[in-house]
Amino acid sequence: MSQRLRQPDGDPLRKIRFREAARDIVAKDRYDRKYGRAVDTAGAIARAMERAYRQGFGDAQSERPAPPSKPLAVEAALEWVLIPPRPRSAFWTVCRFALGRQGEPECGGHLVLMITERGTQGWQLFLSNGDSRDAFGERTIAPLARLGLLEPAREGLERLLISDRGKATWQIFLERGGHYPDDLTQV
């Protein structure tokens, strides 16, 4: 009787790494098609699947157990790759202008509820010096609030501030180099 191969424990970042690889394949395909270059999307997918298979097989055969996935505390920083792409980009913009980078003074800022040009609900970034910046749709900002990166201001629900978890997440990005978009999806 043959011994059944051990299944690897679930890795919360594995699916995200696969999704990022898929986004890269799709982006390269679109770029190559736009500029009339040769396209090998099927080959890129096959190579990605082969890498995933080898990684999974290696994980299943390894003697060392995978690190247990522990639930994050609410205050703990969130990995950037766990933030969906469009909200990730919006969060970078909000943090970049409200919190600044290392060596820059913190401007402070908040998001204010507004109606966009299309007539939908959205959020406008206002800095503490009175300048207004980018506007974001509700569907872009809602995941950031759900993940605990933004929180309602004490004055009311019409304003969102960067939470302590959001500040810790921004700090991790800065420690990884702080270059957009290169350091956003490093794991």
pLDDT digits (tens, 9 = 90+) for 13-56: 777 778 888 888 999 999 999 999 999 999 999 998 898 888 87
User: Domain range holding 91?
Assistant: 80-175
Whether 67 shows a pLDDT value over 60: the answer reads: no
- Give DSSP secondary structure letters for 125-161: EEETTS-EEEEEEHHHHHHHHHTTSEEEETTEEEEEE
Q: Look at residue 99 and tell me if it is in a domain.
A: yes
CA distance 20 to 60: 22
Q: Same structural domain for residues 85 and 170?
A: yes
Do 126 and 141 meet the contact criterion of CB atoms below 8 Å apart? no
Whether 116 shows a pLDDT value over 80: the answer reads: yes
Q: Look at residue 184 and tell me if it is in a domain.
A: no
pLDDT band at 72 (very low <50, low <70, confident <90, very high): very low
* pLDDT digits 0-9 by tens, 126-173: 887 777 888 899 999 999 999 999 998 887 668 898 999 999 999 888
Output the pTM of the full model: 0.65
Last residue of a domain, one of 32, 48, 70: 70
